[in-house]
Amino acid sequence: MESSSGVEHVSICIDGKLARHSGLFRERCIFKVHEKLRKLNPDAYEPAVLAIGPYHRGKINLQGMEEVKLQYLKSLLARKEETSAKKYVIAMRELEEEARECYAEPVGLTSDEFVLLDGCFIIELFLKLLTDVAIDENDPIFGTYWMGSLLLLDLILFENQLPFFVLLKLYALIEDTKPEEFVYIALTFFAFFLIKNIAKPRILDMSSIHEVQHLLDLLHRSRCPDPFVRTEKRKGSEWERIQCASQLVKSGIKFEKAEGSSNLFDITCSKRTLKIPHLTIEDRTEPLFRNLIAHEQYSDVNQSCYITNYCFLMDCH
């Protein structure tokens, strides 16, 4: 039987933890993928060359890009004719606590490590890709095709994200312009370098742009229909799993390519003919879809899981 002094000690420890706890659940938006999703293809969630944020920092195979981040910050300062990163450090320190609370797992890095360097790197990379910002002839990112291809995919991995408000703040400081312009640059990046035919980009309401959680969330919001625009209510109260394609064919259903559609969600069924838009399959298609699905699984329950449902439909083989 435990002594009264032992009980008293445990009680004091617990009471101390309760006193320090706010009693409120904080809103998190950047998670580690749970094992049920991860085990299907662990590599789909692992960065190949670039760590953004705290979850993959320190891995041996990603260390090479840490020097590149420093070089990008140095070239950014030189381009802006600045000799110190002080104003950016001050701005990021003001956002540090809010940024840390976006992560579901503990963050064991300083704000300089996981906010300033990573954020400046992303912005400078986008500007090099999409504007007339000069590219160093020895830049390893642009020196080989495979490096750039892997890096672009790493930027949309679910676990490899920075809070979007950090990027907006940094961009406004660096370019001395409205942060909304960064949204346009990011969407252009997705359109030119990453996305083939998930869907045409949806016009976003810039007044709500501060609700965007991170780059992957921006991609999802821009390519999926507005979850608050309700479609016709389905008859019945329960969803049933659709039969596989071979069974549907036996039942008299025909399959056709939906001509002229660039939106994966434009799937229609009329007169026993199921029309499905064409999908270009590339090496990046599976990890892109898996990370969008992971994002949907951790999002607000009121959000529509368009990518999840699409993949569920395509899986009925």
Q: How confident is the model over 150-160, as pLDDT tens digits?
A: 998 999 999 99
pLDDT(20) > 60: no
Higher pLDDT: 48 or 236? It is: 48
Residue 147: C-alpha distances to residues 32, 69, 92, 192 (Å): 24, 14, 29, 17
pLDDT of residue 165: 95
pLDDT of residue 23: 43
- Kindly state the average pLDDT of the residues 241-264: 79
pLDDT(74) > 70: yes
pLDDT(123) > 70: yes
pLDDT of residue 223: 82
Rounded to two decimals, the pTM is: 0.85
pLDDT(228) > 80: no
Higher pLDDT: 175 or 314? It is: 175
pLDDT(46) > 70: yes
Mean pLDDT value across the chain: 83
Quick one: pLDDT band at residue 201, thresholds 50, 70, 90?
low
pLDDT of residue 196: 59
Q: What is the pLDDT of residues 290-314, one digit of tens each?
A: 999 999 999 875 567 889 988 888 8
